[in-house]
């Protein structure tokens, strides 16, 4: 039976995790490989693509926009690009399911071409803010209608968008990437300033495909990205590294489960993605990067993780962008640590697949953990005794994942050290980023099963 297709999963306390776990390809890089492949001239060959629901939704949307995409074998895909103004208006709605990255980046693509498309998504995506994308794209010349700044959104793009200087209030790779993608066809320089550097996969990959992209840091620490318009992209060969945001669950599981010792090979180590590892090491975690190497232009390493007694720390706001998807699993590590972990500058968590501050706080409290929070910070107080074995994480509850894969995987990880099992409903959503999560964790020694109903 495929456990990861089971919507309700139960995770029980275990004594040790041991062995090697392979996590899937990086979600951010997978979306971008398909999108830039579609905008390029010629063929792009991708290996190690994440074949999760989010990326497959982007693939289907690109096919509807006229791009040819073919799977050659597991993880290997070939994209035949149509060039920067070669897409067609799709005959159907572009349904991006649960994927914020897919919908927002593709809005940028459509805004920069002479075509019209309507974007929709699931209940979670339909409640997320889109004005942060559609406002700058409108000012570049696209005509856009939406339901009060949310999906469904219809965009009629223009093949001659205006280059824009955009000052973003938040460090968001999705906002930045949408504007850059629209700016590819603009005459002149498109420039984005963000308060802190967000992940820079779009910048690196655009350069690799032949665009002129510069990144600089201003005196006040803000990050400026400039793209020369009227670019020409050429098809490339891409090797997708394994996703640090998926590895995060195995890392924390091994740290908090006694007598654990695991290896997680081939993980992307882009410094704008490794904030969680820095944080966990500061908390006392035994995490070693071994065999560091460069593959396909990305730094990757194997992670060697052993169970460790963690202690609470303050996680600064300046680190938030480099670990924005990792706060749910960090709060699980914090629940198993001694003292309080104080996470600052995390307001963006409120507009992810769920309001991740509230959903994590509610679920952790249900499990018996002390949590405080406000709009922009969250404090989790772990075990006073500092002994995982004497855990006061009660468990014995059912948590709803609420269309949020990272909430689901976080509570299944917490179940590995809770006194009573933790049941999670809505686990089908884990397919968006980590197909096979339950099986792969169980192969290390976790006890996650679908017989919970
Ligand atoms: C992503 C950017 C992040 C992250 C998301 C993936 C991307 O969102 O939360 O899971 O691939 O660009 P923001 O940049 O909007 O914070």
Pick the CATH number of 3-25+241-449 from 3.40.50.720, 3.65.10.10, 3.40.50.300, 3.40.50.11610: 3.65.10.10
Amino acid 144: pLDDT: 98
Within 6 A (CB) of ligand 1 lie: 28, 101, 172-174, 177, 198-199, 324-325, 348
Beta-bridge partners for 155: 117, 144
| Torsion of the alpha carbons at 24, 25, 28 and 30, rounded to the nearest 10 | -130
Smallest CA separation from ligand 1 atom 11, residue? 28
The kind and range of the H/E element at 38 are helix 27-39
Amino acid 388: pLDDT: 45
What is the 429 CA–ligand 1 centroid distance (Å)?
17
What is the 353 CA–ligand 1 centroid distance (Å)?
11
What is the 59 CA–ligand 1 centroid distance (Å)?
18
Q: Where in the chain is the domain with CATH 3.65.10.10?
A: 3-25+241-449, 27-239
271: tokens are: 């410094």
Give the confidence band of 391 by pLDDT, cuts at 50, 70, 90: low
What are the pLDDT digits (tens) for 169-203? 999 999 999 999 999 999 999 999 999 999 999 99
Q: Are 271 and 300 in contact (CB under 8 A)?
A: no
Give the confidence band of 392 by pLDDT, cuts at 50, 70, 90: confident
Mean of the per-residue pLDDT values of the chain:
95
3-class DSSP state of 426: coil
Amino acid 295: pLDDT: 84
The one catalytic residue among 60, 122, 200, 325:
325
What is the model's pTM? 0.96
The CA distance from 192 to 180, in Å, is 8
Give the confidence band of 384 by pLDDT, cuts at 50, 70, 90: low
- Residue 216: exposed, middle, or buried by beta-carbon count in 10 A (0-12, 13-18, 19+)? exposed
The domain covering 27-239 belongs, at the CATH homologous superfamily level, to Enolpyruvate transferase domain (3.65.10.10)
From 100, 203, 240, give the residue whose CB has the most ligand 1 atoms within 8 Å, as the site to mutate.
100
Amino acid 193: pLDDT: 98
Write down the residue that tokens 């039976």 correspond to. Answer: 1
Residues 307-333: what's their mean pLDDT?
97
Provide the angle, in degrees to the nearest 10, between the axes of the packed helices 173-183 and 131-139. 20
355 is catalytic: no
């Amino acid at each position: 039976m495929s456990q990861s297709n089971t919507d309700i999963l139960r995770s029980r306390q275990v004594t040790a995790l041991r062995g090697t776990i392979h996590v899937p390809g990086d979600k951010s890089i997978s979306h971008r490989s398909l999108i830039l492949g579609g905008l390029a001239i010629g063929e792009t060959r991708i290996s190690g693509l994440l074949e999760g629901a989010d990326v497959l939704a982007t693939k289907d949307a690109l096919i509807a926009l006229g791009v040819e995409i073919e799977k050659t074998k597991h993880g290997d895909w070939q994209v035949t690009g149509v060039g920067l103004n070669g897409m067609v208006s799709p005959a159907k709605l572009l349904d991006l399911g649960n994927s914020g990255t897919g919908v927002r980046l593709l809005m940028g693509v459509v805004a920069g071409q002479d075509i019209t498309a309507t974007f929709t998504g699931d209940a979670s995506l339909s409640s997320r803010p889109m004005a942060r994308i559609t406002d700058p794209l409108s000012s570049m010349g696209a005509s856009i209608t939406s339901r009060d700044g949310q999906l469904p959104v219809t965009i009629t793009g223009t093949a001659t968008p205006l280059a824009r200087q955009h000052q973003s209030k938040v460090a968001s790779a999705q906002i930045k990437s949408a504007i850059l993608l629209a700016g590819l066809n603009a005459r002149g320089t498109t420039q984005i300033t963000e308060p802190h550097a967000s992940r820079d996969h779009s910048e690196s990959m655009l350069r690799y495909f032949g665009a002129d992209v510069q990144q600089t840091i201003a005196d006040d620490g803000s990050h400026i990205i400039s793209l020369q318009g009227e670019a020409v992209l050429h098809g490339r060969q891409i090797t997708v590294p394994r996703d640090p945001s998926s590895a995060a669950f195995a890392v924390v599981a091994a740290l908090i489960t006694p007598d654990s010792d695991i290896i997680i090979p081939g993980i992307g180590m882009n410094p704008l993605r490794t904030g969680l590892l820095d944080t966990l090491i500061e908390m006392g975690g035994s995490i070693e990067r071994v065999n560091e190497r460069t593959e396909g232009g990305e730094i990757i390493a194997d992670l060697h993780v052993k169970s460790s007694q963690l202690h609470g720390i303050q996680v600064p706001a300046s680190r938030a962008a480099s670990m924005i998807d990792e706060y749910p699993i960090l709060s699980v590590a914090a629940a198993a640590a001694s003292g309080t972990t104080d996470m600052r500058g995390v307001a963006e968590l409120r507009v992810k697949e769920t309001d991740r501050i509230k959903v994590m706080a509610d679920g952790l409290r249900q499990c018996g953990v002390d949590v405080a929070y406000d709009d922009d910070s969250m404090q989790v107080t772990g075990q006073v005794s500092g002994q995982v074995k004497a855990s006061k994480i009660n468990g014995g509850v059912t948590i709803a994942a609420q269309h949020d894969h990272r909430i689901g995987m976080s509570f299944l990880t917490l179940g590995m050290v809770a006194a009573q099992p933790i049941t999670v409903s809505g686990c089908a959503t884990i397919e968006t980023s980590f197909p096979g999560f339950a099986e792969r964790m169980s192969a290390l020694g976790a006890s996650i099963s679908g017989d919970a109903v």
